[in-house]
Chain A
């Protein structure tokens, strides 16, 4: 199995631009998670899906953030408009049931 796939690996954008991060979970996993990691706040759960349905988005920082999972093999996290404080590493993870989570390589986002 290829593991969790994320793209792009690095993204540099200017404040105010729209950013879309992509994730392909491990086949057969029914849970998908989006995290944000910064030095100050550590690893934060933003949102998670179960069978493509968003279950808990209480970690999404504000309305500028949105996430979708149109099918079992694809999810997006969108930031519109982006701000410098959104700069972080964004991880996607997937799991079967609510057991061990497998993380993707992450997307390092820099907003100038």
Chain B
């Protein structure tokens, strides 16, 4: 089944404790992105990647890191999480073809205390 997976789905952590949210897709997609969703603000892009080793900042990159060492994986790293990073996070991938619809993962709900 074609899908984007994220882990963990739920995470409660404390300020300053490094964490990684994994994202993996099995569709051989070129593009992958991370979004955060907060009430009233919609989906805001954190980082996106056009291919292996090629990443670029989105609208809200501060406090986040990403890497794309393999085509299928695009982990999101929070080196020193803070309470304002409490949010719902979505990973998405797309083919990069003409009809470039995005496929979203199930989401990760992160709470930073």
A and B pair up: no
